[in-house]
Each structure stands twice: as structure tokens, then as C-alpha cells.
Chains A and B, each alone.
Chain A
Amino acid sequence: MELIYNTWPWYVAGPLIACVLFLLLIMGKKFGMSSNLRTLCAIGGAGQFSDFFKFDWKSSKWNLWIVFGVIVGGFIAFQFLTPQAPQIHEDAVLKLKEYGINSTNQSFLPLELFNIENLLTIKGFFIILISGFLVGFGARYAGGCTSGHAISGLSNLQLPSLIAVIGFFIGGLIMIHLIFPLIF
């Protein structure tokens, strides 16, 4: 039981994600999480504003069942499988302290960014909103996210996916090294 309650190591989680890819492929589907955002925009009527959202979204509805499952899975994990605060590398803990983030190793998400008090400040609100915006915009521009490019795309040895993943890292490194010191 301890195995279930503790943090799952990489050699358990990685192969399980590969299993998900396999199950989706043999169901004639694909593994792509960000395309649901496009589907949701289309359902919300975004087709009135751009042809990009005028597609046969009914054929993408299956993917929303996965999203629903993911949310329920998260509920089960948070309620019953006692997720602990991730214990991360000491250097990372110290760096975050410099930025005023002290909830490291104590919370699943940094309270200094995600708690409600922070959301009610202008800066805190825009950090959350803009970070989501960049993820949504970037994923569609690149034609996929971590699941579509890094997992499915690299598994299919696609050059575009490799370029996209290199981009993910360029962006991530710029953010934590150049932009974090400016905003925190």
C-alpha cells in the first residue's frame, strides 16, 4: 500500500504514460491534451470569430471524456491517495526562497502564487492569467503540447515535434532564468 501512497517514481509513471499512449492508439485515437482547448472554444461559439474553430468538433468530443476522467482521477488522488508535497532539490528550494516562495516542500503548488489572497492582487491575477494564455496560445501555434509533441510526436520520431520540444525548453529556460528574477 505504501507504494500507492508515496510519490510514484519515474520508472513507474513513465511506462504508465506509455501505456496510455498505447491504449489510445489501439482505440484509434491519439494522445493530445491541448486540442481540447480548441474543441471547448468551438463549442463555446468561437467559430463566429475565426474559421480556425469551424471544424468538426463533434469528432473530437471523445477527447473531452478523457479530460473529464483526468479531473475525476485528480479528485480521487487528492482525496484518497494522500499526495504529499513534492520534495525537490535543495538548490531549487533555496532559489525559490530568494524569490519569496517559502511553501516549497510543504505544498503541492506554491501558495505564494496560487492561493486566493494572491489571486486577488492585480499582479497575482495577471501572472496566473498570462501563464495560462501563453500555454494555450503556444500549444496551438506549435500544434501540440507535452502530450502531442513530447510524448506522441517524439515516439513517432517526428522532426516537427523535436523542434517544438526544443522550443519548450528555450521558453522554459528564458522564463526561469531571465523573467523570474524580474517578476518575483
Chain B
Amino acid sequence: MNRITKLAILIAVFALVAAACGSDSDSGSDSGGDGFRVAIVAPSASNDLAFTQSMVDAVNSLKDSGVVSEVAITDGTFVPEDGATAIRDYASDGYDLVIAHGSQYGAFLPEIAPDFPDVSFAWGTAADTYGLPNVFSYEAASDQGGRVMGIMAAALSQSDVVGIVGPIEVGDAKLYVDGFKAGVLVGKPGADVPVNYIDSFSDVALASEAATSLIGAGADVLSGTAQMVVGAITVAKADGVLWFGTQANQTSLAPEIVVASQVYHWEGILEEIVSNVKGGTLGGELYSITFANGGLVIEYNDDYPLPDDVRELGDNAVKAFEDAG
């Protein structure tokens, strides 16, 4: 086999790889709005029924309503350095707003953002703009939904053991887990709420075993956050254990056992960010979605026969947050 053939085959292989990886990003260039272009860089798949999808859905709905004209997505960049490269590429392509949807990308923004003073960056979930004039940050008050669903979980649990599967104990995940646990304890002060952080955002097999372990410890209601929980949901489904979801509506994964999901609606704050950018303010503000500003919504699974009194507990808890503003 001569060198040229070898080289040709290597190139062919890498071309295939590049094709496979590259096609993750697609841009809809059909016009609309007044030419406002938004790019999203996110760690998991845009249809992950979780973190990434929540933002992709929000931006697409802004596109449908004509607020933005063009959306580009690079998803699955779970390696932060790859995400940083994509962020820089979009910025240099002249996108008006580049959304770095993942707290792990934050560390790169102080390096990237100053190089593109005319581009606005939005980074979440986080509560820090690094003092940069062209960086917004956004987060979800996911503890609110956690608390609401925790209260309902306590009411539904017969064993008084409610388990939670977490990824790594940071950011949005920690906020949600702490809120959920607090909610369960509000509902049933004597309940046992084991939390199993598997220390990975991506290990589906470990999440599955964590759920098994929690069920083994007596849990009859589970919740969990981050994209690897799909493994936990299938275990819950197989064992007939109830599930509360977050970040997106997870009903389709297991209609039999999903009670409700906390869903993020970033549209509201995104619209504000876009109008800020259009008005010349490229950053510096912190945003948070809450029940009060309509960014958090509890979506119930209509197929699950939720007792009315439990539903009422949930509604009351939501109302308490809305009233508190």
C-alpha cells in the first residue's frame, strides 16, 4: 500500500468524521424580522428534553414571532474547548447575539468577548457577567419549581422516601436539587430524601444505577436533573416509580410515571435581551426566570391521574411564588 493511497483513505475517514460532527450545526437563513441573528452553543443535543432543548425552543419561538431573523445552533459540544471555538466562530461571523448555553463556557468569555465589542454574549446558567459590557448572564430559579414539585412528591409518596438523582453538585442542578429536597421536607418533615450526585452530566448507565439504588433504599418517587437522567427515568418506568422532571417536559419519555415537569421558558428574558441589544445595550445585566416573570411553568402530565388535592398543593405553592414577585 503506497503512501498516497494511505493518505487518501485517511482524508476520507476524517472527511466522514468532519461531516458527522459538522452537521450538528445548522442555520436557518430564511429571512424575517429585521435581520437580527442569534447563535446558540450548547453542551448536549438540541432535542435532549432537558437543558439544551429549553433554550433552542425559546429561540425558535422568538424566530417564529419575528423577533429574530436567523438562528444558528452548535449543540453537543460537551467539551468546553470545542464550545469556546464555536462561540468565537459565531462572533467573528458577525452574529448579533451569541448564547453560550452552559456554565462551563463561562471561563472562556473573558478571553473572547473583549475581542468582539460589537457582539453581545449571553451566558447561562450563571449569575456573573465578569463585569464585561457585552456579556449578559441568565439563570433559572429552578429551586422554585423544585420546591413546588417536592411538596407534591411528599404528598404522593407512601414510603416517605423520595430520591433525587443529580449530576455534579453545582449551578442549576444544585439549585433544583436543594429546592426539591426542601419541598419534600415541607410536605413531610419526617421524610427521607436521599440525594445521589453521580458526579457526571453524561453517564447514563451510572444515572440508571443511581435510580436503582435509590429505589432499593425505598424511594417510590424520584426526581432528577441534567441530561443523563434519561437513564434514571427508564429505571423508574420499569419499576413503576413516580418521576418529576425539570428543564423540559419529560412526559414523552415515560407517560405512565411522569407526574409533572418544571419547564424553562427563556422567551421572556430573551426578548428583553434582544431588545436591549437592539437598543445598544450589549450586556452587563443579570436575568433570572421565575414563576413570577412567567419563565418557569409546571407542565402536568394529563395521562397521570393526579389527585386533585395534590394538584392543589402544587398550584398553591406556585401562587405563593408568583405573589412574592
Same assembly: no
Residues of chain A touching chain B, judged by Cβ–Cβ distance below 8 Å, are: none
Residues of chain B touching chain A, judged by Cβ–Cβ distance below 8 Å, are: none
